[in-house]
A and B are shown apart, each in its own frame.
Chain A
């Protein structure tokens, strides 16, 4: 008993010839179907080359256009010829010209001999499994497809839409339960001959001729009628990408293919010389009795599809430039933005850096230049510190910074003095964590040595900008984690917010707030605000500040927080 190979060939005839010889030399009869579209000259040469090889025969030719009946007709003709000509064939294996056996043929033969009544055909009901990639499933059987999907896509789509609208449906032949699956199968003589000799075959054929992509459903459906035992998987390793076209194997897949232990792989690049050399040798070694294990290859290709459809979050580059809100994450990693903290605390940046071990920048969006941590002039990815370049595309600046420093959390200061173009981008970014003390910008003015008229003007402007910011950060479109305190609120109990900020940044180090940042001296600040009010400029973002507040500085360390390790 042996395995017969029905081979559908349309391009790369030299490779097909090589593989056919390999099968035949190992005792497997081969029936070859050549696509009608192959030029006569090429076909004649091909046939002549194989003429001397025993047990290789050719069958009637059909035109095998993708997704049409021709492929089924060719498989039927090939199978009939195989069953008639080679009585000692028990399993028939449908393969293409670009399939390559990965294991010794004798291993396949003995594997099948051990399972004499099993049909290997991937076959899933359309009702339960969304088998197809983004296409039609059940409707393949119930609609009509007068137009070619490849050549007349527009008409094809329109025809489908019209039929859906009019609820047009074809009737399925009695006893047919639509199943679909990979077109590469391996069936037993019993099942295959039952399908081919079915008294109702003419009716089935007539039905499937009008089904879309019948090669993925004809044998898959009908084998369910007769098979004694179906293993619903294909013995051919064949992965499809998100558009439903097969992935191609190259020389550098050699090790992956070796380790997969699959019997046959599809589709091989015709110029992959190393693969053909490596696998088409007669391995007379001890038989491996391992089951096919395509897991690793599956992962590689699943990743490729994922990359093509979802991409890497936070990356903007020449071939990934998502429309707004389609980014799958505006930036690559979480980061923290602080507004007002460096105004209120003298040493906030070094303190935060020390307490958490993350990188703490100054005002990245400051008007003069980019204030990186440690006064660096460039940073990861050779991102420069020119304000002009940054403002030229401030979103790109931010996304680049976060992308370049993947794996290391970034913190930076922000404020109403800085470039405001970036506000919305931060607000809409779920990776952003924004902590804001409103009104803290006034401390700078309070301490500055400027004319009061200038201070008043500046304060009015900054207040306006910050209230705009608050509006943005509180809008329903905001996805960032935003926490806003008024300055008065914050000063009353600064430890708790600081502690929660440290926890949120959540680096592994255990941090108890053993040391608090030093708050600036605010004596006279209440009077300063009152002076502004007296000038008609009401600063309201700070919250309620008493005129003469004896601001209690948290000088002594607070009680140690309880941390669960």
Chain B
């Protein structure tokens, strides 16, 4: 990489930082419990809007995994989720009514909060419908992973988004608060992903899965990106460039081996396709606050009207992380 290009990326990183700094004014603090954070706590960052029904299980899941403190940005919820979050003992909450799109889909807000609070911590950035699975997650807490990453001088950990869906119509089984959404949306596509290298940021760009198979089969280039780097040993100089797909400095995106070996990686189980999806898609379509003119939601709305069936004969049912490892969706790398 030439000096000029690396300098350009440096300028871009600074620009995102300044932008995040300016966007701080859109955030209003509701609950501040950040003084409870211990120096070695693992932090979780999340933006949410009207996701109350999911929050109980979400918080439980990550508490059990060993997350020490939660940071939430609430984007104008009206379903009581803000109040619910405010009552939690380990959650700090900010609220805003500003545009989700103009904050680059929440990245600016979270970049600011991370700059301010996450320096030196392992930091997990996920959505309320994303559930991290990593090697040995059934026997080892998240701290074991971050300790190992520290010992190996690895600063970022990749976890690809794996779309989960139910068998049958999406609205067949209503989701109850506190329930494990993977009980309903327990199926996934195991082997139809395509990857390419993004030469500018050195990250991989992954597309595929049920969304490409069903919604974007005629326009695959529009299918959503599935590559994510949610777990980072944060430094105040880092920024997320676009959602959690990539970061700057770009060395953090080098989560894959280029010489034939496998680095350790996990999976984010994406429990988006529940009975709540239909109304969510409709609402998001009206708001027009999503990526690329909400092209995704338009495609969903069009396809979902006639036959909301993502399941096919070759779908795999989720069992555990070892299954994902064998299928080649994630890897233990040299962690044993």
Contacts and interface: CB of A to CB of B under 8 A. Distances in A.
A392 B314 contact: no
Contacts of B158: 318-319
B84 interface: no
A320 B331 contact: yes
A304 B331 CA distance: 10
B292 to A, nearest CB: 17
A382 B259 contact: no
Nearest to B265: A319
B333 to A, nearest CB: 5
B236 interface: no
Contacts of A247: 336
B168 interface: no
Contact of B262 (A248, A311, A400): A311
A185 B212 CA distance: 57
B260 interface: yes
Interface residues of B, number: 60
Interface stretch (B95-103, B106-114, B194-202, B270-278): B194-202
A308 B331 CA distance: 9
A252 interface: yes
A403 B217 contact: no
B191 A383 contact: yes
A404 interface: yes
Contact of B314 (A251, A300, A381): A381
A242 B261 CA distance: 11
A309 B334 CA distance: 8
Interface string B311-336: 01111100000000001111111111
Interface stretch (A323-331, A333-341, A491-499): A323-331
B307 interface: no
Contacts of B190: 381-382, 404
Contacts of B260: 309-311, 320, 322, 326-328
Contacts of A389: 192, 212-213, 216-217, 220
A325 B281 CA distance: 43
B220 A392 contact: yes
Interface in A355-402: 378-384, 386, 388-389, 392-393, 396-397, 400
A69 B191 CA distance: 52
B143 interface: yes
Given A243-B152, A307-B332, A320 B147 contact: no
A312 interface: yes
Contacts of A242: 334
A393 B328 contact: no
A111 to B, nearest CB: 28
Contact of B140 (A251, A311, A381): A251
B306 interface: no
Contacts of A317: 160, 193, 195, 262, 265, 328-331
A246 to B, nearest CB: 9
Interface in A237-251: 241-243, 245, 247-248, 250-251
Contacts of A392: 194, 220-221
29 contacts: A245-B152, A252-B136, A252-B139, A271-B141, A271-B143, A311-B260, A311-B331, A317-B328, A317-B329, A318-B160, A318-B204, A319-B255, A319-B262, A319-B330, A323-B258, A326-B260, A328-B260, A378-B213, A381-B191, A381-B192, A382-B213, A384-B213, A386-B217, A388-B217, A388-B219, A388-B220, A392-B220, A396-B194, A400-B192
Interface of A: 241-243, 245, 247-248, 250-252, 269, 271, 300-301, 303-305, 307-312, 315-323, 326-328, 378-384, 386, 388-389, 392-393, 396-397, 400, 403-404
